[in-house]
Amino acid sequence: MRVLGVDPGLTRCGVGVIDGVPGRALTLVGTDVIRTPPGDDIALRLLALEAGIESWLTEHQPDAVAVERVFSQHNVRTVMGTAQAGAVAILCGARRGLPVALHTPSEVKAAVTGNGRAGKEQVTEMVTRLLRMDNPPRPADSADALALAICHLWRGGAQRRLAAAVAAATVLQAAAARGGER
């Protein structure tokens, strides 16, 4: 499975692609940061992010997209920009019919390091090890994007199976309820 991880941000949007399956060694396909000038109009910045993400989708043809779920931040302006950038990534994936998953920062940290409160350095170190990279991915936005992709690859299958089980149970409950009405 190939996953594109997106660490959303207006100034620096981390992107990273990995290949792998749970239980096997992961392979780094690529990572980078899409940058937009802080002084540009928001519309132009969002268009630039869209073009950058679309380019990554076209070049790497992922099977799924994992985006960091925007969590509360103290600076409302920052959280709005992050949410807008995340929405662009979600839209790009959805436009292509790809499954798009949102993962919280603590979920990503727990998946990659075993500790949901791990620091950025710990996440970067584990991403470097898991992908057998000679040097840590820089800047941190790249490491975060790769961590999102790893998290999705390792947890996404379990989440899909759980959702399918819940849906099946709901169908069975509804059928049982209809049978009891007769």
Catalytic hit among 40, 59, 63, 68: 68
- Mark whether 144 is an active-site residue: no
Instruction: Considering the candidates 7, 41, 125, 144, report the single residue annotated as catalytic.
Output: 7
Told to judge if 40 belongs to the known catalytic residues of this protein, a careful annotator would answer no
Is 63 annotated as catalytic?
no
Per-residue burial over 30-66, b if 16 or more Cβ lie within 10 Å, else e, is: ebbbbbbeeeeeeeebbebbbebbeebbeebebebbb
Q: What backbone phi and psi angles, to 5 degrees, belong to 21?
A: -140, 150
C-alpha 147/C-alpha 16 separation (Å) is: 9
Cis peptide before 139 (omega within 30 of 0): yes
CB 20 within 8 A of CB 37: no
Q: How many angstroms from the chain centroid is the CA of residue 5?
A: 4
Catalytic residues: 7, 68, 141
